[in-house]
Amino acid sequence: MAEAPADGSPSRPRNRRGEGPRLREDIVRAATALIVRTGTDQTVTLRSVAREVGISAPSIYAHFTDRDAIVEAVVLEAIAQLHGDVEAAVTAHEDPVEGLLAGCAAYIDFGTREPARYRVLFDWPRLKPAAARTDDSDSRGLDAFHVLVRNLEACVRAGRSASTDPFGDAVALWTALHGRVLLRASLPDFPWPSADTVERVVLSLARITPVP
C-alpha cells in the first residue's frame, strides 16, 4: 500500500520494515532540491517536501519534528560535504602550499557549484549548538576553516610561509574566499578578470612567497 500525498500527486511506495532511514534521506534530498531550485529555504514546508517525495505530510513526523529540523538536516549535510571536499583536496598533496591552494580552490568550487546550499549554510539562523547535537559536525563552515588553519600552520613549519599568526591570517583568507563566492553569485555580470585570482589572493594572505 502507498502513502497518499496531500495533493493527490503520484504516491511513493510505503517503506518495508527497516527502511525508515531511506525515507529520512528522501525527505532531506527533497528539501535540498527545493532549496536548490528556488534559492531559498523559505519554500521548504512539510507540505512542499511531502509533495516532492510523494508521501503524506504527517509521515514526516516520524523523522523530523518540524520544517526547521528538515532545513537543519540540509545545512548539516552541506557542512559535511564542504568539509569533505576541502579535506580531500588538501590531503591529496604532500606539499603544504599546493595543499592550501587546492583546499581554497575546493572551498570556492563548492560555493560556486552549490550557491543555494552554500547560502543557506551561512544564513540559516537556527542551527543548534554543537553540544545539543548527536553528530560531530561543527557549526557553519568552521570545520572546513580549521582544515585551512592546520594547513597554513604546516606551511609555516615547512618554512614556506612567513605568517606569525596562522589563525588570524587564515581568518583573513576565509573572509576573502567567502566574499569571492558571494560576490560572484550576486554580480555574475560584473567584468571579473579572466584570469583566476584565487592563487594570488591565497599566497598573499597566507604570506607565502612563490618559488621562482
CB 61 within 8 A of CB 43: no
Mean pLDDT over 14-29 rounds to: 74
What pLDDT is recorded for position 165? 97
Does this model's pTM top 0.75? My answer is yes
- CATH 1.10.357.10 for domain 68-205: yes
Report the b/e string of 6-42 with b at 16+ CB within 10 A: eeeeeebeebeeeeeeebbebbbebbbebbeeeeebe
CB 108 within 8 A of CB 100: no
Report the b/e string of 125-145 with b at 16+ CB within 10 A: eebeeeeeeeeebeebbebbb
- CA gap 161, 168 in Å, rounded: 13
pLDDT in tens, 167-200: 999 999 999 999 999 998 889 898 887 656 788 9
What's the grid cell of residue 14? Answer: 510505503
What is the pLDDT confidence band of residue 137, given thresholds at 50, 70 and 90?
Answer: very low
pLDDT in tens, 115-130: 999 999 888 776 555 4
DSSP 112-177: HH-HHHHHHHHH-TTPPPGGGSSS-PPSTTHHHHHHHHHHHHHHHHTT-B--S-HHHHHHHHHHHH
CB 120 within 8 A of CB 33: no
CATH placement of domain 2-64:
1.10.10
- The yes-or-no verdict on residue 136 having pLDDT over 50 is no
The 3-state DSSP class for residue 201 equals helix
- The yes-or-no verdict on residue 17 having pLDDT over 70 is no
What pLDDT is recorded for position 197? 79
Domain boundaries, the chain: 2-64, 68-205
Mean pLDDT over 13-35 rounds to: 79
Among positive and negative, which fits the CA dihedral 142, 84, 92, 210? negative
